[in-house]
Chain A
Amino acid sequence: MSASKNILKKEIVVKSTTDNLAMIRDFMKNTTTELGIPDEIIGKIILAVDEACTNIIKHAYKYSPDGQIFIATRFADSKFSIAITDEGQHFDPGKIPDPDLNEYYKQKRIGGLGMFLIKKLMDEVNYSTLSGNKNQVVLVKYLPH
């Protein structure tokens, strides 16, 4: 086992407003482009992070603009991970079932698609509660060598 080398980390902190989603996407685009990640995978990562942050703005902070979202990226050994942390209300993603599009259509429900997309786009999605009442979701993508 050799020690991990070339670990690259980048972070950003933004307020919990939807007009910051464009800035978050730009940050993810710049970070992933610098690492030489293929465009197709960059697109998936950007959308997954957008969806995770949108969920935080809507559900954890209930559209209050004063919350903070911490995004920390880490790249090592072909593994790109994004830890997204908030200090809003906790919600249990395990209780939310995968959406059935036909049911959504009948009920005119428009929520819940984001979390389903995140699962489809990323290789790993791990939700946890940190000390100090923080919520964290870590998104992982394994990259081709």
Chain B
Amino acid sequence: MADFNVNLRGVGPVSVIDVKGYLDAHTAPELENVFNKLLDTKQFKVVVNFDDLKYISSAGLGVFMAYVETMRENMGDIKFSNMQENVYNIFDLLGFPILYEFYKDENEAIKKFDLLG
């Protein structure tokens, strides 16, 4: 069994998702559930903290692609923070840095939402 954990917490108006372990086709539905919960409660400002994520495959990348436009249509976004280099390299291979914002630190990403109000 793949070792994966996802945790959701609120920092002011921003929802922070902590992902931990291995995000693949088997574990991606757990992350989808969290995004569905955010849509149900109309939380559109999201930071995903990758500090403890060791591995990602395209199934995981696909989750962010599936939800980002809805977030943006509702004055929100999905921003990424604290990503390890090996994980960032996969996002980079697929051209994600053109469409998504990446931050070294979670607080930097949260502040970007504050600036936008």
Taking Cβ atoms with an 8 Å cutoff, the residues of A that contact B are: 18-19, 21-22, 25, 43, 47, 50-51, 54, 57-58, 99, 101-102, 104-106, 108-111, 113-114, 116-117, 120-121
Contacts and interface: CB of A to CB of B under 8 A. Distances in A.
Contacts of B98: 101-102
Contacts of A22: 1-3, 22, 24, 26
B69 A113 contact: no
A57 B58 CA distance: 14
A123 B87 CA distance: 20
B58 A51 contact: yes
Q: Identify whether the interface residues of A are mostly helix, strand, loop, or mixed.
A: helix
Q: Which 9 pairs between the two chains have the least Cβ-Cβ distance?
A: A110-B62, A18-B26, A113-B58, A22-B2, A114-B58, A54-B25, A101-B95, A18-B25, A110-B66
Interface in B45-91: 55, 57-59, 61-63, 65-66, 68-69, 86, 90
Given A114-B57, A114-B58, A57 B25 contact: yes
The bracket for how many chain B residues form the interface is 20 to 34
B53 to A, nearest CB: 14
A108 B86 CA distance: 26
A133 to B, nearest CB: 24
Interface in B1-56: 1-3, 22, 24-26, 55
A105 to B, nearest CB: 6
Contact of B62 (A25, A47, A50, A113): A113
B94 interface: yes
A51 B69 contact: no
A54 B24 contact: yes
Contact of B65 (A21, A50, A54, A110): A110
Nearest to A120: B93
Contacts of A105: 65, 68-69, 99
Nearest to B67: A108
A19 to B, nearest CB: 5
Nearest to B95: A101
Contact of B94 (A19, A25, A113): A113
B88 to A, nearest CB: 12
B113 interface: no
